[in-house]
Structure 1
Amino acid sequence: MSPPSALHPNHQKLLDRAREFIAEIEDQTPGAELEARLNSEFGPGTPYYDDFSSLIRQGLANNESWISKEGVDGANFRLSDISPPTEDTKYFSILTVYLENDGYEHIAHIHPYGELNCIVQIDPAAEFKGFQGWQGAGWTSPPPGSHHAPSVRGGGLVALVFIPAGRLAFKELKDPRDF
């Protein structure tokens, strides 16, 4: 789904800020090293993280139509395309995913080129299960070829997701331990 031609001002601000962020990390490969860098240089208390967090929270609080609007699995699992992979985004797709509660094993997927997830807690205790364990506010960076089923505990959060080349592969899960 393409973003609407006339973007909400906060959607446009988030997209502009995301493009600036991508310019900072575009030559990095997702994985443990990049995850450490993201949490150190771009985590809570830094300008990028705080801007992303503020715009996402505003979008949710104001029921702005651009943020986490499409139900994937009811009201507790929603997403929105912020941008498809384009030259302007260095061919990263950008989306927001609102998650609350757990139980999304049926939405397991593979990251052919990796993924970057900026975790914005809506509930202070909310955590997202990254490939290195549970993550509250901050970043996860699953490496190329990694896979998971979205898992969250402790309340609601939004993941601002950057996907190289927009590549995700969905796989039917035979056994939750497969992922």
Structure 2
Amino acid sequence: MSPSALHPNHQKLIDRAKEFIAEIEGETPGNELEARLNSQFGPGTPYYDDFSSLIKQGLANNEGWVSKEGVDGANFRLCDISPPSEDTKFFSILTVYLENDGYEHIAHVHPYGELNCVIQLDPTAEMKGVNGWQGAGWTSPYPGSHHAPSVRGGGLVALVFLPAGRLAFKELKDPRDF
């Protein structure tokens, strides 16, 4: 395999993500889109199940492309799956592995919003979204929203879609800010 070649499952995820993005590309992240994502693209639907299967295979087979780079030890890892490009309608795509809580120091702002496909590795794992805790399914923080990643109940992978690849980190002055 050449240095620039992607693992076949990595490429399959990118290809499937491009199809998904074409379905939602004109919509703005927020409550309305989150409800649509959970009803039309949640667990038991072809997109969600494909995303979940490919990511779990990548982890189980140690394929080296899912959340491989440590950000804060073994419990917080990420991987850039695809940069923003014309092919992805200028969304960047990444995977973030989270287990346990305590990432207040990694607070960030979503200038154009964010879409998170929550893939549970532990059946009780949940990610905190702007509308509360979410197990298997989606969160969709609106443009200008901000948070520090929060999980409970075990490990999960968030398949993250960022419009224009925009994410801004900010220093947390007071934990109540989020």
Post-superposition CA distance 1:20-76 (Å, at most 9, x none): 000000000000000000000000000000000000000010111111000000000
Aligned pairs for 1:78-93 (under 5 A) are: 78-93=77-92
Alignment length (residue pairs): 176
Where do 1:69-84 residues align within 5 Å?
69-84=68-83
**TM-score (norm. length: structure 2):** 0.98
Asked whether 1:110 is paired with 2:86, we answer: no
Whole-angstrom distance in 2 between the partners of 1:63 and 1:98: 14
Matched AA of 1:144: P
1:123 alignment counterpart? 122
Cα deviation for residue 133 of structure 1 reads: 0.1
Other-structure match for 1:68? 67
CA distance in structure 2 between the partners assigned to 1:176 and 1:135 by the alignment: 21
Runs of 4+ that moved beyond 6 A: none
Task: Provide TM-score, normalisation by structure 1.
Answer: 0.98
What amino acid maps onto 1:178 in structure 2?
D
Alpha-carbon distance in 2 for matches of 1:40, 1:32: 12
Query: What are structure 1's unaligned runs of at least 5 residues?
Result: none
| 1:143 counterpart residue number | 142
Root-mean-square deviation (Å): 0.6
Residue segments in structure 2 that go unaligned for 5+ positions in a row: none
Identity percentage of aligned residues: 88
Q: 1:132, 1:40 → 2: CA distance? A: 15
